[in-house]
Amino acid sequence: MSLKRFVAEQLGLTASAPSADSVLSRRKMLLGGAAAFAAVSARPPQARAVPPGSANRFLVDRITFGWTPEEQNQADSLGYHEYLERQLDYHSIDDSAMEARLESYEMLDYIPYHMHNLVNVSVAYRQLYEATILRAVQSKRQLYQRMVEFWTDHFNINLFSGECAWIKNWDDKNVIRVHALGSFRELLSASMHSACMLHYLNNELSVWWGPNENYARELMELHTLGVDGGYTQQDVVEVARCLTGWDFHRPDNYDRQMFRFAANHHDFDAKTVLGHAIPAGQGIEDGEMVCDILASHPSTARYLATKLCRKFWSENPPVTLIDAVTATYTATDGDIKAMLRTLFTTLDPSLAGPKFKRPFHLVVSALRATKASYETTGAEPSVALFNRLANMGHLPFNWAPPDGYPDRADFWVGSPLTRWNFAARLVNGNITYLSVDPAAFFATAATADQLMGQIQAKLFGGRLTAEERNLIRDYLATDPASPSIRLEAIGLALAAPSFQWY
């Protein structure tokens, strides 16, 4: 029996009924019979809060790109605090296997000059896509990779804006990845000196006789203070003046599209930014002072604390937690590790609200949970997987506005069918270079109940609901020995509501 026929029958349809597909689509296959497994649970999110005594599970769910039995075993072995400290001290984690996996992705290390000498730049940005996916799936430095994702959204750059395709790999390596778990002040400074960011937000057009306010506005609204952070339009004007001449090299030489300060384009008159006097006669120091002013501002501390709490705790984090993380930012001059330590050790994890997996998170967690074989090389990245992510609306580096991909459930829950399609294509081997081996997944399990037990243990760690278990087991019972039935049961589980939340 095909999976489509099984689902149709569970909904009271006949497999041949022409209305079957339309009904599945119209109902969006939400919880209610078999419909639950193609989409997102409509149950209140609070029903998914972390149960008491599950602190280690909460931590694994939050700081990795997807729960696995192996990760849970490590957290249980080390204990909550030691596991957190191990992930914070990411340099101490041996990730040599990941580094070896990426050796053929040599364009990740290209400077812009080398990128512009490529015949086809698409190979380079596809290597960036794939390296991002591979690191999320296979790296042992999971919290580090989650923070790379966080800062990539925070300092969003659209890969296809102007010439960003030629320079985003440099920005990813030298801005985001270098500072993801370091100092926010240093991260901010690195971003301000990034040719990719300056180009994306038009700062190369900003000259003393015509300052461009685009980057100055986003620098305050999105990167530091927040839209309600207390700055005025005059502050935007003054910051834009401070950043005149912050540019990058254009000639076709070794410095091409690397940062430069063009003194002849700079406004050398006095300025005032957020009440701070910027003396006349300075050059690049104006922008450096702006960096210090913004990084040390109380609004920046609270804005970043709020975003981090929403990312790792819940969409509506308690004020007490935001206050604690804000205080840590202020006390440590923006130490990112210290902020995360406060975030995860201040309140009882059982009080945390649920988080909905964005498409990238869902895809990566599915690859981690199923131990999918992902056989590609830097010379031949998996365009098919990129197309799946693009179809789901979450291909890395492809968000056009400067605010980064949304991290709200209400933005993503309206597209359940793309999630169902991904799960079905993954288990059926319809995504080039990706495959799931049912024999390895189920080992010696033979009966429907045994097979269901393996799914519960390896994909959910015991979190699959009785309703979901029964439906998957009933599908397995149609032919437990069939490899295709077993694979489709895994796909059914990946589409279950319990796999959409963490």
Nearest to 460 by CA among 40, 69, 34: 69
Q: What is the pLDDT of residue 176?
A: 98
Question: Binning pLDDT at 50, 70 and 90, where does residue 27 land?
Answer: very low
Q: What is the CA radius of gyration of the chain?
A: 24
Least confident of 29-33, 212-216, 301-305, 486-490: 29-33
The DSSP 8-state label assigned to residue 205 in this structure reads G
Residues 52-57 have a mean pLDDT of 79
Least confident of 43-47, 57-61, 155-159, 498-502: 43-47
Select the more confidently predicted residue: 42 or 439: 439
Asked whether the CA dihedral 355, 361, 366, 368 is positive or negative, the reply is: negative
Q: What is the pLDDT of residue 134?
A: 97
Q: What is the pLDDT of residue 11?
A: 38
Q: What is the pLDDT of residue 225?
A: 98
Chain mean pLDDT for the chain: 90
Task: Report the DSSP beta bridge partners of residue 261.
Answer: 246
Q: What percent of the chain lies above the pLDDT cut of 90?
A: 84
Question: Binning pLDDT at 50, 70 and 90, where does residue 67 land?
Answer: very high
Question: What confidence tens digit (pLDDT) does each residue in 174-193 have?
Answer: 999 999 999 999 999 999 99
Residues 481, 446: contact at Cβ < 8 Å? yes
Residues 249-256 have a mean pLDDT of 87
Q: What is the pLDDT of residue 378?
A: 83
Residues 241-265 have a mean pLDDT of 94
DSSP track, 76-136: HHH-HHHHHHHHHSGGGS--HHHHHHTTT-GGGG--HHHHHT-S-HHHHHHHHHHHHHHHH
pTM above 0.85?
Answer: yes
Select the more confidently predicted residue: 47 or 63: 63
Q: How far is 309 from 321, CA to CA, in rounded Å?
A: 7
Select the more confidently predicted residue: 241 or 25: 241
Least confident of 43-47, 135-139, 338-342, 463-467: 43-47
Select the more confidently predicted residue: 45 or 446: 446
Q: What is the pLDDT of residue 1?
A: 53
Asked whether the CA dihedral 425, 159, 101, 56 is positive or negative, the reply is: negative
Q: How far is 119 from 140, CA to CA, in rounded Å?
A: 34
- Region at 335 (left for phi over 0; alpha for psi -120 to 50; beta for the rest): beta
Asked whether the CA dihedral 84, 85, 91, 94 is positive or negative, the reply is: negative
- Which of the given ranges, 37-41, 118-122, 334-338, has the highest pLDDT on average? 334-338
Retrieve residue 382's tokens: 């998996």
- Region at 251 (left for phi over 0; alpha for psi -120 to 50; beta for the rest): beta
Residues 94, 140: contact at Cβ < 8 Å? yes
Q: How far is 187 from 189, CA to CA, in rounded Å?
A: 5
Helix (H, G, I), strand (E, B) or coil at 339: helix
Residues 13-21 have a mean pLDDT of 37
Q: What is the pLDDT of residue 33?
A: 33
Q: What percent of the chain lies above the pLDDT cut of 70?
A: 89
The DSSP 8-state label assigned to residue 210 in this structure reads B
Question: What confidence tens digit (pLDDT) does each residue in 206-252 have?
Answer: 999 999 999 999 999 999 999 999 999 999 999 999 999 999 998 87
**Which residues, 6+ apart, have CB-to-CB distance to 230 below 8 Å?**
274, 299
With 90 as the cut, is the pLDDT of residue 36 above it?
Answer: no
Question: What confidence tens digit (pLDDT) does each residue in 376-413 have?
Answer: 888 888 899 999 999 999 999 999 999 999 999 999 99
